[in-house]
Structure 1
Amino acid sequence: MSIDNLDSLLSGGTKSAKFENPGDTITGVITEVTTRQKTEFGTGKPQFWDDGLPQQQIVVTIQTTLAEDEDDDGLRAIYIKGWGAQLKAFRAAVQAAGAKPEKGDDFTATFTGYGPKAPTGGFPPKTYQYAIRKLSQIDALVGGPAAAAPAAPTTPAAATPTAANPAAEQAKGLIGLGLSDEQITAATGLDATVVALIRSQTGGALAAAAGAQTGF
C-alpha cells in the first residue's frame, strides 16, 4: 500500500499534510475541524491508553493551493495529538486567536523541530507551532490573505492594520462607479456570489452614510 493510499484511508479521502523537515509549513482555509481516535501508522489499528481510554487527536482539514497531480483537490488534513506538546501548542494558538478554529478561518501549521526522546527510546517526537486567524465572510469566500506565522508580542502602538483583500476592495470601488455584477466579476475574477455579497454590504454602508448626511 502506498503512502498516498494510506493517507486517503486514514483521512477519509483527504491527503495528510506533509512535514518532512523542520521549517516546513502549510496554510489554508479551514473546511472542517473534528476529533478522531488515533490509529497505528501502517495498520490503521485504533490506539488506546493503558487504562483503556482511546487516544484522541484533533483533525484540521484545510483548503490549500497545493496540487500534486490533476486529481489533487488541494485539501490537506493536519493531525494534532490530543495530549502533550502538540495539544499545548494548539491551545496556545486558540488563546492567541481568542476563539476556537472554525470553518472559514485561516490555519497555519509549522514543523518547528524535535522534542526529547521518550525514556523507552524510539524516534524523538515532532514539535509544531499553530496559528489561527479569524477571517471575515468575504475573505473566507475569496480565499483570504494567508495567515502569517505567529510573531513576537508587540504593543498596540506598534501594531499595523491588516491589509484588505485587493480584489474585494477593487469590487467595492467598481460598485461605487455603478458597474454591474457581470462587469465586476469579469474585472476582478471574483465569483458572482461574492460580488453580490460585497454589493449588499457596500450598499448598506452607503445608505447609512447618506442618511447621516441628510439627517434621516
Structure 2
Amino acid sequence: MTTPQQPYQAPSAEAFLMGGGGAPTAKFPAFGTTVSGRVTERPTVEQQRDIKTGDKKFWSDGNPMMQLVVTVQTDQRDTSIEDDDGRRRLFVKGQIQKVIADAVRAVGAPGLEVGGILSVTYTHDGTPSGPGMSPPKQYTAQYTAAATAMLHASDPAAASPQYAAAPPQQYAPPAPAQQQYAPAPQQYAAPPAPAPAPVAQQHNPAVAALQAQQQAQAAAAPPPF
C-alpha cells in the first residue's frame, strides 16, 4: 500500500535548541504507577511510529495515525539516563487521550497549557482486541489548569509545607494576686511574778527559799519564739 506523503513538521523551539530526541518516554511498568508534573512546553501533535521498526503508522484508509506529545517535569530520576533532569514525555493516544481530555474539560481549561499540572495513573488492563493481542493499559488522569497551579504556587501556605499561620491566642484574665500570710509577731511576755506570800509566811525561812528558787528559774528561762 502506498502511503501518502506527510508535510515536514519542524521540531519545537525547545527540542531544536537542546538537541537530541527530547525527554525520555514516561513508563508505566505496574498497576498504580503515576507520572505527574508540570507541563514544561507546548504539546505537539505528531505521527505515531511503529515501536519496533520506527516506521510511521497509518490507518487502513491511508490516513496517518496521530498522537499528542506532552512533556512534564517530574521528580523521577533514572541513574541509567545521563544528566536526567526528570522531564518525561507522554504519548497521548487511544484510551489515555480520552481520560486526559475528560480531566481537562472537568476544570474548564481550553487544553493542556504550559504550567498546568498533569497526572496520569496506570490502573488496570483492558480486554485484548483480538487473539494473541496484549491487553491495552487503562489509565486515569487529573489536570490542574495553569492559572490555578500558579495561584497555589504563589500562596505561601501552599508553596512551603513548613509555613503555618500562628494560632490565635485566647484571652485569659490575669489570676488574682495571692496574699502572703504572715503571722503577727508574738510579743514576749515575762512570766508573772509569784504572788507575795501572806504576811505571816514572809518571815518563814522555808517560804523565802522557795520564792527565791522560783524567781531564779523564771529569770533563767529563755524567751519563747
TM-score between the two structures when normalised by the length of structure 2 = 0.55
Determine the C-alpha separation between the residues in 2 that align with 1:12 and 1:143.
33
Determine the C-alpha separation between the residues in 2 that align with 1:128 and 1:138.
22
Query: Larger Cα Rg: Structure 1 or Structure 2?
Result: 2
Higher share of residues assigned helix: 1
Q: CA-atom RMSD, angstroms?
A: 2.9
Contact 1:105 1:140 in 2 (8 A): no
Determine the C-alpha separation between the residues in 2 that align with 1:62 and 1:30.
4
Of residues 122, 129, 146 in structure 1, which corresponds to 2:133?
Answer: 122
Per-residue deviation, residues 101-144 of structure 1 (Å, max 9, x unmatched) = 10011110111111111135410111111111024488489699
| Residues paired across the two proteins, number | 140
Q: Residue 16 of structure 1: SS of its match in structure 2?
A: coil
Which deviates more, 85-94 or 108-117?
A: 85-94
- Cα gap change, 1:17 to 1:56, in 2 (>3 Å): same
> Unaligned regions of 5+ residues in structure 2, if any?
1-19, 165-225
- Cα gap change, 1:137 to 1:110, in 2 (>3 Å): closer
Q: Does 1:73 align with 2:85?
A: yes
Per-residue deviation, residues 10-47 of structure 1 (Å, max 9, x unmatched) = x8231001101111001111012111111111221100
- Cα gap change, 1:115 to 1:135, in 2 (>3 Å): same
Determine the C-alpha separation between the residues in 1 that align with 2:140 and 2:152.
26
**Divergent runs of 4+, >2 A:** 84-87, 135-144
Determine the C-alpha separation between the residues in 1 that align with 2:115 and 2:103.
16
Q: Residue 40 of structure 2: SS of its match in structure 1?
A: strand
Determine the C-alpha separation between the residues in 2 that align with 1:20 and 1:77.
15
Contact 1:40 1:46 in 2 (8 A): yes
1:1-216 equivalent positions in 2, closer than 5 A: 12-32=21-41, 33-69=43-79, 71-81=83-93, 84-99=94-109, 100-136=111-147, 139=150, 164-166=158-160
> Unaligned regions of 5+ residues in structure 1, if any?
1-10, 145-162, 171-216
